[in-house]
Amino acid sequence: MSGCVCVVCGKPATLPRSAGVCAHCDDPFAVLEVLFDLGRVRKSMTRSALAARPPNHWRYAELLPLDPDERAFAWPVGWTPVLDAPRLADWTGVGRLRLKDDGRNPTGSFKDRASSVGVARAMQLGDARIACASTGNAASSCAGFAAMAGIGATIFVPQRAPKPKIAQLLIFGADVRRVRGSYAQAYDLCSRSCDEHDWHNRNCAINPYLVEGKKTCGLEIAEQCATALPDWVVVSVGDGCTIAGVAKGLMEMHELGFIERVPRVLGVQAMGVDPIAIAFETGQLPANRTAATMADSIDVPVPRNWHKALQRVRACDGAFVRVDDEAIAQAMRATGARAGVFAEPAAAAAVAGVKQAVAQGILDPKADVLAVITGNGLKDVDSAIAVAGEPNEVEP
Ligand SMILES: *Cc1c(COP(=O)(O)O)cnc(C)c1O
């Protein structure tokens, strides 16, 4: 790491221990971005060096905010498969569609990329407890890695977090606090508790190191698709950390010479819970809205990382679309039946977004597209059953 800057004013900041925002801006969303000395990275992270490294996201050690750590680096995170899905391409109306199935991470979601880095940092700093607030996946992921590392986890979840995600937390032995309120309220309580008790704060938006973990998805796409780079990479968007991370990874691989161009990035938000899409169009975050979506993982009315998300999407000439719950339900069924991938609602939203972007003329019918499946369908069984219906009962 060569330093860190504020995403709003651009002034250098000192690298925080875990979470931190800019000391100069009075914008609560003035989050920090970690910088790397890519000149130095280029010397050791060569194509041939990478070829000899293990198939997990620790292969990008030079681009992670960690000291190499043998214990953490044995956790099997990332390097999830990229699957060609021709029948789903037909359904969405694009020329080629690949799915990167991040539901196959150890705790079943993309969040493992960030949590593994957060917990490894907590371990290296000697912190005894890590905390986070989450709509579900970041929570279960944080608890899972804390269990692997042998440190404590205190997790704040909103009232409506799906039961399977809560079950995962409890099985991983976390101290779970279900907050009688919204995600925003769970988030505030977590931040205050971290300050008061000196816990390691895993909240992705204001812990700049976590986005560096999310970045590894972009690094992997660049390596896995180097010979046939997609035109577009599609990601669903809640807080905005995932899309910012994926885009950062693609851009760093471009700067390092691994890929010749940066794919454009398409962000998908839920209809009515679309503050980042609105900010993309107007430059301003809208006032609090009250809509909700079945896709709990992207049900984020106050996104903490909107500056980073917008900067990255603009830098790669990307776009945003919105999809409603009916479109998400159709995409869950199509992704399962036409590609054999069981996606939770927020993950299927990316596939629904591909179809929507074709309808709006953003994607060309010949476009070569990669959609990131950010979470496994077993994460939210109730939604899956609501969408797919009941089985036929027959006599034995
Ligand atoms: C967290 C999450 C997202 C969105 O990531 P943000 O960083 O909040 O934008 C998308 N899909 C799933 C399954 C998630 O858990």
Domains, the chain, with CATH or none: 3-57 (no CATH), 82-109+208-386 (3.40.50.1100), 112-201 (3.40.50.1100)
pLDDT for 247 equals 98
Residue 348 CA, ligand 1 centroid: distance in Å: 11
Q: How confident is the model at residue 96 (pLDDT cuts 50, 70, 90)?
A: very high
Residue 238 CA, ligand 1 centroid: distance in Å: 6
The CA distance from 328 to 379, in Å, is 15
Report field, pTM of the whole predicted structure over 0.85: yes
Q: How many CA atoms lie within 13 A of 356 on its CB side?
A: 26
Instruction: Please choose, from the candidates 74, 68, 21, the residue with its C-alpha nearest in 3D space to the C-alpha of residue 45.
Output: 68
The CA distance from 218 to 264, in Å, is 12
136-160: average pLDDT: 92
Cβ-proximal residues to 177 (8 Å cutoff; 6+ apart), any chain = 154, 155, 156, 157, 186, 189
pLDDT for 204 equals 65
Lowest-confidence range among 131-140, 218-227, 284-293?
Answer: 284-293
Residue 125 CA, ligand 1 centroid: distance in Å: 27
Tokens of 371: 């959609």
Indicate which atom in ligand 1 lies nearest the CA of residue 237. Answer: 9
Q: Sign of the CA dihedral 190, 161, 349, 293?
A: negative
The CA distance from 387 to 332, in Å, is 8
CA 18 to the chain's CA centroid: 18
The CA distance from 230 to 347, in Å, is 19
283: amino acid identity, one letter: G
Q: For 282-340, how does the pLDDT look when each residue is reduced to its tens digit (9 = 90+)?
A: 999 998 777 889 998 898 888 989 999 999 999 999 999 999 999 999 999 999 999 99
Q: Is the pLDDT of residue 197 over 80?
A: yes
